[in-house]
Amino acid sequence: MKPQILAYLLLASTACGQTKDNSQKGSNILKIDTTQKQTKNMSDYSPAFGKAHPRAKELLKEEFYFSPIDETGPFGNDDGADTYAGFNDWRQSHSNENPKVFLLEQIEYWGYPKFDICETDIKKLTLYLKQSDLGSRYMSGIGAAIISIAFGQLYLDGKIDRDFNELAKTAIRRQLLPEILAVWGDTYKIERETKLKKMLAVLAS
């Protein structure tokens, strides 16, 4: 494991309220190929209710959870879909490794600027959002990756690592902030809020 990733994991391994070093550049972090491999059936990268773990079937009964086009669903947005495809491959040889390792590698692979992924204070998050015209895009993408991994674990294994579950709940709470929801427009934000709350309830169950 690369030193930069290990340091980040140690800082984020317990509660999401701890202060983290966001200055790491990650220039030496190993980049992984999360593109879909031609040797595998494309259906392997498309979660479906019929192939879900029994526990996931109990909790994920609405269609949007498995939709390939629902922007709020775990696997329906571009970042969520890409993340699940990569995570599904990665876990084959890293079944006992913390999924945060893959998350950080995925963020590095995309080249998205990092921020405190345990932060929900909009005043602090605004500093990140204003760093770039794509600030909200980056934050949304990283949040989608976190959510995709959490629900990907549930889909595949019927459970989510406890600390990553907390991270996913924090990611959803961050997306539920009025200032973040507003980015989605008056029409869609109501639907998005409803679905995010349903996902949060699943993670809390």
Tell me how far apart the alpha carbons of residues 129 and 76 are, in angstroms, rounded to a whole number.
24
Tell me how far apart the alpha carbons of residues 17 and 22 are, in angstroms, rounded to a whole number.
14
Nearest to 149, CA basis, from 205, 201, 98: 98
- Pair 74, 152: CB distance under 8 Å: yes
Domain range list for the chain:
3-204
Burial class of residue 93, CB neighbours in 10 A (0-12, 13-18, 19+): exposed
The predicted-structure confidence for 73-106, as pLDDT tens digits, reads as follows 999 999 999 999 999 999 999 988 999 999 999 9
The predicted-structure confidence for 41-59, as pLDDT tens digits, reads as follows 545 678 999 999 999 999 9
pTM: 0.81
